[in-house]
Structure 1
Amino acid sequence: MRRALGPVLLCLMVACSESFLPASAVDDLRVIGARIDVEGAPGRANPSPEDEVQASILVIDQGPLPALTWSFIACVPAPTRIGVPICGDLIEGCDGCVGPPPSDPFALPVLRFQVPPEEELDELEAREVLLLGVVCGEGVPSAEAIRELLSGESDDLASCEDAEGEPIVDEDERSVGRIVTVQIPIERDTEDPNLNPGIENVFLNESDWPPPYAEGVPREAPATGCKAALDALNPEDREKHPKAGSPPSTIDLSVTPGSLQSFTVDGEDFTEELQVSWLADGGGFEVAFSFITDPADKVGTRWQPFSEVPTDGRLVRFSYVIRDGRGGLDRVERGLCVLPPASPESPP
């Protein structure tokens, strides 16, 4: 049976400037993926005609994630085979496509809509549906940017604006918003559906990830001052948090047994290959991407802590994302508090 990384069917286009930082370094607002779930079919990654779909847009930042605003449009793409996908017919009734709701100003983008019937998809020769939109960490999405996206333009868009309608840019004249295109494949044959892969565990230095960030990091947790959060830990767990200037830590990731699916294209058999993205808002990874070809194997890399941190510690947020190349995705978050090195003992 042949192995292959399937065509990339989830595309995220993020407005950014030239940078020498590695892809693993999170230094500003970033959209890192979209998790697709089908209502009534747990685990499925690709919907069929008339299915109800939930798309969770995954957003991270350096330090605490700010309150977000966003605007998306769901649509059936026009029948083109080259260039950036553009909308053909709009999909009405997208719940959550504009946010956040007034009742929850710190909500995250979770969009729900129904895939059109098969005959409507066939009219446009559509094998996928699209989500086009803008996510802002400051200001609100520009209506003009959304119109440009609908016409197929995605370069140099002023994606977010202030209350007076003026574009918001950072000190490098970059837009503070992120332009996002999500391509969601349509599954016509549901006998062998594509399922989202699963991250089973993440290990630090060949041990379980230490608390208090073993299941994630509170959104509001500041970048500095994490040392106090370790006071309640036992000495063994506290010692697992790295010291500034210490040697690199090893980080290993394992996936659930069914994460690598076999599939057939034009009578030829393939097996998925999972891409792993290693992301952190501090320190440095040895590599930005790894690949898993056997679900029984762990895949790993090394992460180098800061050389210096404040006396009260520096919190590092890690995001680990796996993709199956066919629309399936999973993501987990972890955290570490990098502590200052121990003071040298006083001479006798």
Structure 2
Amino acid sequence: MKNERRLGTLIGVVGAVLALSGCDDPLVPVELIEKARVLGARLEVEGAPERAAPAPGESARVRFLVVAPELDLETGYALQACFAEWSPSDLPACKGEPFARAERSTPDARAPVLDLVLPEYPADARVPRLLVRGVICADGAPSDEGGERCAPNAAPLRVSFDLELPGPDDAPNLNPSLPDDALTLDGEAWPPASARETACRELDVPEVPVGSAHVIRVALPERAREAVPPPIEGAPEFESLLVSHFATHGELERAFSPLPGTGTSLDVTVTWTAPATAPDDGELARFWFVVRDGRGGADFVERAVCVVPN
């Protein structure tokens, strides 16, 4: 049963990752953010935000990472939470009625969230799973007609995020962490920036010349991953991590950096080349980094640089 749990989680979370991070234009690199997209979701248990799944009776919040080339994208949304009827060949569907809903009919720039209190598991659930699904509406509101639709003036971003729920004897899965000091740019500390202006020269972000190449390093702490009990014969002792990286400008070397459970290094290095042109007052290039543990846990952070002409 526990091995069935673990295998189901690995497959199911891959499906959730694809549902959240897909890029529907094959001619655009997946790592380039050229329109509004959903890059990830993180669940935090109330009073224990490091835990990635609640137990029955506990409160939790699911927060979605929605990004766009423009600053301060406004979104509306209609989300619901239910127990999942999982399928290995399709996105999961609700098993029974939703037990939590969240809607924002007046768009604003805050992250989409859904708060829930987890009910008791269904009596026939061998491997209970939580499903949060719905639609996030970029630059608009959900449709008055209900369903997973947006008003005509909004861009619909449909989301489906599911994860395995713990059994009574299971150790809690913890969210991986991306601490502030995990990221460096060309060997220098790269802290979060407060700049919210496209014209960014002389603001609190690193300045880089047009066309220049740079090395981004993500050095995860050892606590970012956990041992995965009980072991499946022949499987890694530790969970695998997937680090994803995205940018609004320039060229990233790739979008995904896997860290297998058999590896000893938790370092990721990826190169980024600044765009060839920029206005005199600079162009703000934004980056997002997402780490997932393959079991429903996640963390994400944002960084920025200012691209300036030579």
TM-score w.r.t. structure 1 length? 0.76
Partner SS state of residue 107, structure 1: coil
Is 1:130–1:181's contact at 8 Å kept on the other side of the alignment?
yes
| Residue in structure 1 matched with residue 187 of structure 2 by the alignment | 206
Residue 99 (structure 1) shift:
1.4
* Counterpart Cα distance in 2 of 1:67 and 1:289: 27
Residue 65 (structure 2) pairs with residue 98 (structure 1):
no
| Residue in structure 2 matched with residue 280 of structure 1 by the alignment | 247
Residue 63 (structure 1) shift:
2.4
More strand by share: 2
- 1:262-320 CA-to-partner distances (Å, cap 9, x unmatched) read 11357545311211101000111011111224565421110000111011100011000
* Counterpart Cα distance in 1 of 2:258 and 2:34: 24
Residue 127 (structure 1) shift:
2.0
Going from structure 1 to structure 2, the CA distance change for 1:23 and 1:263 (only over 3 Å counts) comes to same
- 1:155-197 CA-to-partner distances (Å, cap 9, x unmatched) read xxxx321xxxxx347xxxxxx1100011032111455221111
| Residue in structure 1 matched with residue 222 of structure 2 by the alignment | 257
Is 1:242–1:337's contact at 8 Å kept on the other side of the alignment?
yes
> How many residue pairs get matched?
294
Residue 54 (structure 1) shift:
0.9
| Residue in structure 2 matched with residue 164 of structure 1 by the alignment | none
| Residue in structure 1 matched with residue 171 of structure 2 by the alignment | 192
Is 1:49–1:188's contact at 8 Å kept on the other side of the alignment?
no
| Residue in structure 1 matched with residue 201 of structure 2 by the alignment | 227
Is 2:80–2:100's contact at 8 Å kept on the other side of the alignment?
no
Going from structure 1 to structure 2, the CA distance change for 1:8 and 1:337 (only over 3 Å counts) comes to farther
| Residue in structure 1 matched with residue 36 of structure 2 by the alignment | 29
TM-score w.r.t. structure 2 length? 0.85
Is 1:257–1:295's contact at 8 Å kept on the other side of the alignment?
no
Could you list the runs of 5+ residues in structure 2 that have no partner in the other structure?
Answer: 1-6
Partner SS state of residue 226, structure 1: coil
Is 1:255–1:298's contact at 8 Å kept on the other side of the alignment?
yes
Could you list the runs of 5+ residues in structure 1 that have no partner in the other structure?
Answer: 150-158, 162-166, 170-175, 231-237, 342-348
* Counterpart Cα distance in 2 of 1:47 and 1:6: 18
| Residue in structure 1 matched with residue 128 of structure 2 by the alignment | 127
* Counterpart Cα distance in 1 of 2:258 and 2:23: 25
* Counterpart Cα distance in 1 of 2:109 and 2:74: 5
- 1:106-163 CA-to-partner distances (Å, cap 9, x unmatched) read 3321211011203xx23355521111111111222235572xx5xxxxxxxxx321xx
| Residue in structure 1 matched with residue 68 of structure 2 by the alignment | 61
Residue 150 (structure 2) pairs with residue 160 (structure 1):
yes
Identity over aligned pairs, percent: 28
* Equivalent AA in structure 2 for residue 47 of structure 1: P
Going from structure 1 to structure 2, the CA distance change for 1:133 and 1:255 (only over 3 Å counts) comes to same
Is 2:79–2:135's contact at 8 Å kept on the other side of the alignment?
yes
* Counterpart Cα distance in 1 of 2:70 and 2:86: 41
Alignment of 1:36-47 (within 5 A): 36-47=43-54
| Residue in structure 2 matched with residue 19 of structure 1 by the alignment | 26
Partner SS state of residue 201, structure 2: helix
Is 2:163–2:295's contact at 8 Å kept on the other side of the alignment?
no
* Counterpart Cα distance in 1 of 2:241 and 2:291: 6
| Residue in structure 2 matched with residue 6 of structure 1 by the alignment | 10
The structure having more radius of gyration, on CA atoms, is: 1
| Residue in structure 1 matched with residue 83 of structure 2 by the alignment | 76
RMSD between aligned residues = 2.6
Residue 36 (structure 1) shift:
0.7
Is 1:256–1:295's contact at 8 Å kept on the other side of the alignment?
no
Is 1:275–1:324's contact at 8 Å kept on the other side of the alignment?
yes
* Equivalent AA in structure 1 for residue 132 of structure 2: L
- 1:197-218 CA-to-partner distances (Å, cap 9, x unmatched) read 1113100011112xxxx21445
Moved over 6 A (4+): none
Residue 253 (structure 1) shift:
0.3
* Counterpart Cα distance in 1 of 2:194 and 2:27: 27
* Counterpart Cα distance in 1 of 2:12 and 2:87: 17
Residue 49 (structure 1) shift:
2.5
* Counterpart Cα distance in 2 of 1:190 and 1:48: 11
Greater RCO (CA < 8 Å, at least 6 residues apart): 1
